[in-house]
Amino acid sequence: MTGGETRYVGRPVPLLHGEQIVTGRRRFTADLTLPAMLHLAVVRSPHAHARLRGIDAADAVAEAGVVRVITGDEAARHIPQIPHRVDPALSGGRHADVLPLARTTVIYAGQPVAAVVAETLEAARQAAALVRVTYEPLPAVLDGDAAARPDAPRVIAEWPDNILHHGRIVHGDVAGAFASAAHRVEATIRLHRCSTQPLETRAYLAVHNAFDDLLTLYATTQNPHQLRHQLAGALRRPENRIRVIAPPLGGAFGLKMIGHPEESLVCLLAVLLQRPVRWVEDREECLIITGREQTHHVEVACRADGRVLAFRDRFVANVGAPYATPGWGMAPLTAATFPCGYDVQTVDIDYTLAVTHKGPWTASRGYGKEASNIVMERVMDLVAGRVGIDPVEVRRRNLIAASAFPYATATGLQIDSGDYQGTLAQLLELGEYDRWRAEQARRRAEGRWIGIGLACELTPEGGSLPRSLVAGYDTSTVRVDPSGEVTVLTGVTSPGGGNETGIAQIVADELGVPPWRIRVVQGDTDLCPYGFGNYSGRSLIAGGGSAALAARDVRQKMARVAAALLEAPIETLRFADGRIGVRDDPTRSAGFAEVAFAVYTRAYELAAVVEPPLEATRTYRPPAIRHTPDAHGRLNPYPTYSNAAYLAVAEVDPSTAVVRLLHFAASHDCGEAINPALVEGQLRGAIAMGIGAVLSEETRYAPDGARRTTSFREYVVPRVGDLPPIVIGHTRTPSPNTIFGNKGGGEAGVGGAAAAVMNAVADALAPLGVDVLSLPLTPPVVWRAIKGAGR
């Protein structure tokens, strides 16, 4: 028997269920209703920091249709605390108890303080507005650097300071490198607070079946099995008495990782009331939870030719109020992914995670890696400026050479493969770099402010954290029915990006059936093998890999039976077009379904050579992840490292300071793409996210910590007409650590696009003497910077 034939892998197969999406018929969690379902509304604190003096729910309870009002004390009797997805205390940080509803103090605006359950959503919301909470406002600590100071007021009263986590990575002779350097470049780079805003907000629907004591939660979640584990801890129920079902998602981007208080609240109330309870987040609520905001004090030592000798960074991340989702973990990964794709072995990176009274961080696409890329790329341009070379040249001189892979970085990462010079070269051609430089010179002579920004990007993918349920491996079951229909049950889930289509392509090639005939089942803890869901661009690495292995096992069984049926040596068989036939002899073949039926029905004669049923469960555990520390105490959490390069051309309107993007190009290397159309879709979305983060999106607060971005009116997300034409090219360096040579493709683009746009704006304003070191670059911010430059 030969291996599967590549007919669908590598092709732009249209999204399975795509027609449901474009015709508006896809059903999401908020579309689900159950008989006798109740609706939950959450009462939230308007204050960033306040003592809770009392809650009077009498008017709310008296409202028609209201079934129950619950406050912090009662909730805590059932849910003493929400377990952290990844507790910072496990890696030397601090633990904070996170409650479903506040009891004595609130520590961020938007924090839940009570929940109202009613017969209708309108009644629940109306009653929520009638819950009278008496607050005693307290001073709020909003600035990360201020919060990190020892004398700052505490966010968590029991802590000795506001430091959630602190770490330092040192490698090489840093002092020596700075002493011998021709140039030393210093900068303070500030990244602002923003969020991800999927079109589908979060929603949870819980129902408890008392007959077999099974609690079922339908949830917009990226991690159904781990949510089950977490709910077991929160609700103190056996894990096997909980079923989590994740219906199709309309975008996730990290927001739908687990640990949100509404998850366990909805479950608790469904159990207490013995009726289904649903909560659907509105946009105002979706804007509470945030990500990013950090200040980097960077120093670089370099030679006269721009070769970087050492990189030093001291940064403080403002992670907001402690929260149970894994958002805080972004900042340590920012540190661990420096100095990105550059060959710099001497580093000193010191990072501090400060808690404040701003909205908590949750995971946000890029998961900290976007921040390291933005900082590094801005710094490379500063180096180029200092030594007087082109931004292309400084990158060429510092990128890791193609011959150096696998490459061990100063922070301990093991980069599997890549051709960074090749990716950059393709970008320059694709993006018409030389032509745009000439165009820039011409337009500058006309008095126009036009800039070109470059960025290289390293995106580690498929990550895994030691001693946590954040795994690098995953598991799939492939099943063929007696009628020959193929079902894949997998532990990875889809955020809406289409990995089920990629998995179907892989299994289709192994079994010789078309992908649209294959049913892929995801996101049900009672149906699917134990798996870890969706994060870190892992789905086709681990999910696709395990599905391939399982499909091969099933194919092997079918081949043995087909060999007996066709009286042909097993090596001569091929699986194609729904048939199993003898290679080079079209007269001898059997239908795929016929062979499947034989496996089930002829178990005592023809098919006795194999064990029924036609089903196999396999796990793919990518190699190269290292959870045992090396001599320097460093780990390698990732099996694959995609890379990319970006070019942005920006023009700044001298009157309004509005930045308009004239051109955008990307060259992307995620190894062998399983489905290039889906990869490009991911990349375009990520680029749009990066552009929005720089030019318009910002989570803002009043001086007292009250929220100032509560709708899309204030939190401005780019729409399709705001985006420039995006030209995309691919280079392909296969990963040695995956079955198909693919690398993760879910996160690249956010940091790279943000950095390219930031560099383009900096380039446009350079003749004016404006330093561009802070994000965002919204028009009023740029306008003030231009005024400040004293034109």
Partner 1 sequence: MTAPVYHAPRSLAEALAVLQEFRGAGTVLAGGQDIVPLMNQGRLAPTHLVDIARLEELRNITEDAGLTIGALATHADLVRHGTIRSHLPLLVDAVRQMGGGLQVRNRGTIGGSLCAANPAYDLPACLLVLDAVLVLAGAAGVRRVSSSAFFLGAGRTVRRDDELLTAIEIPALPTGAGSAYVKLKFMEGGYTIAGAACVLVASANGTCREARLAVSGVSAVPRRISAAEAVLAGHRVTSETLAAVSAQIAGTITDPIEDVMAPADYRREMAGVMAARAVAEAAAR
**Dist. CA 575–CA 509, nearest whole Å:** 8
Interaction between residue 435 and partner 1 (CB under 8 A)? no
748-777 positions binding partner 1, by CB under 8 A: none
Give the pairing type, strands 474-480 and 486-490.
antiparallel
First to last CA, the chain: 75
Q: Judged by CB, which is closer to partner 1: 290, or 640?
A: 290
- In the complex, minimum distance from the CB of residue 725 to partner 1, in angstroms, rounded to a whole number: 16
DSSP-assigned beta bridge partners for residue 618: 476
Interaction between residue 791 and partner 1 (CB under 8 A)? no
Residue appearing with tokens 């986590």: 165
Q: Is the peptide bond before 261 cis (omega within 30 degrees of 0)?
A: no
Interface characters, 597-636, with partner 1 (x: CB under 8 A): ----------------------------------------
Give the pairing type, strands 163-171 and 347-355.
antiparallel
Interaction between residue 103 and partner 1 (CB under 8 A)? no
Interaction between residue 788 and partner 1 (CB under 8 A)? no
The residue among 545, 547, 551 whose CA lies nearest residue 735 is 545
Q: Which stretch binds partner 1 (CB under 8 A): 77-85, 351-359, 399-407, 714-722?
A: 714-722
Task: Give the H or E element holding residue 59.
Answer: helix 58-62
Interaction between residue 184 and partner 1 (CB under 8 A)? no
Interaction between residue 656 and partner 1 (CB under 8 A)? yes
Interaction between residue 24 and partner 1 (CB under 8 A)? no
- In the complex, minimum distance from the CB of residue 121 to partner 1, in angstroms, rounded to a whole number: 11
- In the complex, minimum distance from the CB of residue 328 to partner 1, in angstroms, rounded to a whole number: 27
Interaction between residue 700 and partner 1 (CB under 8 A)? yes
Exposure of 36 in the CB half-sphere (CA atoms within 13 A): 8
718-737 positions binding partner 1, by CB under 8 A: 718-722
**Dist. CA 548–CA 6, nearest whole Å:** 12
- In the complex, minimum distance from the CB of residue 62 to partner 1, in angstroms, rounded to a whole number: 13
**Dist. CA 712–CA 234, nearest whole Å:** 33
**Dist. CA 654–CA 761, nearest whole Å:** 12
Name 57's Cβ contacts closer than 8 Å, sequence gap at least 6: 69, 71, 114, 131, 132
Q: Is 352 helix (H, G, I), strand (E, B) or coil?
A: strand
Q: Which stretch binds partner 1 (CB under 8 A): 48-56, 75-83, 266-274, 711-719?
A: 711-719
Contact 478, 664 (CB under 8 A): no
- In the complex, minimum distance from the CB of residue 126 to partner 1, in angstroms, rounded to a whole number: 4
At 663, list the tokens.
């051109």
Interaction between residue 780 and partner 1 (CB under 8 A)? yes
Name which position in 106, 371, 695, 750 contacts partner 1 (CB under 8 A): 695
Name which position in 125, 154, 183, 437 contacts partner 1 (CB under 8 A): 125
Contact 387, 316 (CB under 8 A): no
Full DSSP string of 251-290: --TTTTSS--HHHHHHHHHHHHHTS-EEEE--HHHHTTSB
**Dist. CA 647–CA 753, nearest whole Å:** 8
Alpha helix ranges (H) inside 361-518: 369-387, 391-398, 420-430, 433-445, 499-511
Q: Which stretch binds partner 1 (CB under 8 A): 203-211, 480-488, 623-631, 708-716?
A: 708-716
Amino acid at 219: A
Interaction between residue 779 and partner 1 (CB under 8 A)? yes
Exposure of 220 in the CB half-sphere (CA atoms within 13 A): 30
Residue appearing with tokens 């939950």: 40
- In the complex, minimum distance from the CB of residue 123 to partner 1, in angstroms, rounded to a whole number: 7
CA-to-CA dists, residue 51 to 47, 180, 247, 337, 575, angstroms: 10, 55, 39, 40, 68
Interaction between residue 708 and partner 1 (CB under 8 A)? yes
Q: Judged by CB, which is closer to partner 1: 390, or 714?
A: 714
Amino acid at 512: G
Interaction between residue 448 and partner 1 (CB under 8 A)? no
Number of H helices, E strands in the chain: 20, 28
Interaction between residue 660 and partner 1 (CB under 8 A)? no
Q: How many residues are there in the chain?
A: 791
Alpha helix ranges (H) inside 96-201: 121-130, 144-148, 174-180
Q: Judged by CB, which is closer to partner 1: 119, or 439?
A: 119
Interaction between residue 46 and partner 1 (CB under 8 A)? no
Q: Judged by CB, which is closer to partner 1: 282, or 615?
A: 282
- In the complex, minimum distance from the CB of residue 780 to partner 1, in angstroms, rounded to a whole number: 5
Q: Which stretch binds partner 1 (CB under 8 A): 117-125, 308-316, 435-443, 445-453?
A: 117-125
Interaction between residue 712 and partner 1 (CB under 8 A)? yes
- In the complex, minimum distance from the CB of residue 59 to partner 1, in angstroms, rounded to a whole number: 13
Name which position in 62, 89, 129, 175 contacts partner 1 (CB under 8 A): 129
At 625, list the tokens.
């992840």
CA-to-CA dists, residue 465 to 93, 353, 522, 536, angstroms: 15, 18, 23, 11
Q: Which stretch binds partner 1 (CB under 8 A): 144-152, 343-351, 383-391, 693-701?
A: 693-701
- In the complex, minimum distance from the CB of residue 661 to partner 1, in angstroms, rounded to a whole number: 12
Burial class (CB in 10 A: 0-12, 13-18, 19+), 385: middle
Residue appearing with tokens 């039976």: 561
Q: Which stretch binds partner 1 (CB under 8 A): 71-79, 236-244, 391-399, 779-787?
A: 779-787
Interaction between residue 22 and partner 1 (CB under 8 A)? no
Residue spans of beta strands (DSSP E) within 57-202: 66-71, 105-106, 112-118, 132-137, 163-171, 183-191
- In the complex, minimum distance from the CB of residue 662 to partner 1, in angstroms, rounded to a whole number: 16
- In the complex, minimum distance from the CB of residue 122 to partner 1, in angstroms, rounded to a whole number: 6
355-414 positions binding partner 1, by CB under 8 A: none
Q: Which stretch binds partner 1 (CB under 8 A): 86-94, 105-113, 632-640, 780-788?
A: 780-788
CA angle 614, 492, 515 (to 5 degrees): 55
Q: Judged by CB, which is closer to partner 1: 163, or 781?
A: 781
Interaction between residue 196 and partner 1 (CB under 8 A)? no
Interaction between residue 778 and partner 1 (CB under 8 A)? yes
Interaction between residue 77 and partner 1 (CB under 8 A)? no
Name 585's Cβ contacts closer than 8 Å, sequence gap at least 6: none
Interaction between residue 121 and partner 1 (CB under 8 A)? no
Name which position in 99, 123, 324, 596 contacts partner 1 (CB under 8 A): 123
Q: Which stretch binds partner 1 (CB under 8 A): 119-127, 212-220, 457-465, 577-585?
A: 119-127
311-340 positions binding partner 1, by CB under 8 A: none
Interaction between residue 199 and partner 1 (CB under 8 A)? no
With CB under 8 A, what is the number of residues at the site for partner 1? 28
460-519 positions binding partner 1, by CB under 8 A: none
265-304 positions binding partner 1, by CB under 8 A: none
Q: Is 346 helix (H, G, I), strand (E, B) or coil?
A: coil
Interaction between residue 706 and partner 1 (CB under 8 A)? no
Name which position in 73, 122, 136, 305 contacts partner 1 (CB under 8 A): 122
Q: Judged by CB, which is closer to partner 1: 467, or 713?
A: 713
Q: Which stretch binds partner 1 (CB under 8 A): 89-97, 616-624, 704-712, 763-771?
A: 704-712
Q: Is the peptide bond before 613 cis (omega within 30 degrees of 0)?
A: yes
The residue among 60, 69, 67 whose CA lies nearest residue 126 is 60
CA angle 693, 279, 718 (to 5 degrees): 20
Q: Judged by CB, which is closer to partner 1: 89, or 789?
A: 789
Sites of contact with partner 1 (CB under 8 A): 122-123, 125-126, 129, 655-656, 658, 695-696, 700, 708-709, 712-714, 716-722, 778-780, 783-784
